[in-house]
Amino acid sequence: MRDRLHTLYVGGLPPAMDSAALGALFESFGQLAAARVVMRPSTNTCRGFGYVTFLTAQAAELARRALDGQSIAGLRLRVAPAP
């Protein structure tokens, strides 16, 4: 049986954030299936949010608890289960 994927919404990202850096921020909590920053097409900068998908619910919950409310580049992260 395949593992279910568990996706987190990550808000409060700085404009310079990219998908690779977002993945690096979360990879210590468990195996990632994907990390994606939503970009502003006109400037190719981060729109301030993205999504991180873990292979396990445990890793997603650990990351959420550890990073929600933390600061990065002077901005407060909001980490929650994706809608």
pLDDT at 3 over 90: no
pLDDT at 79 over 80: yes
> Which residue carries 């299936």 as its tokens?
33
Give the mean pLDDT of the chain.
Answer: 94
Q: What is the DSSP letter of 75?
A: E
Give yes or no for a contact between 49 and 79, defined as CB atoms under 8 angstroms apart: no
Beta-strand ranges (E) seen in 20-72 are 32-40, 45-54, 71-72
CATH of domain 6-81: 3.30.70.330
Q: What tens digit of pLDDT does each residue of 21-32 get?
A: 999 999 999 999
Task: Residue 7: count other Cβ atoms within 10 Å of its Cβ.
Answer: 16
Beta-carbon contacts of 15 under 8 Å, excluding residues fewer than 6 positions away, are 45, 46, 48
> Which residue carries 């400037």 as its tokens?
43
Q: How far apart are CA 18 and CA 5, in angstroms?
A: 21
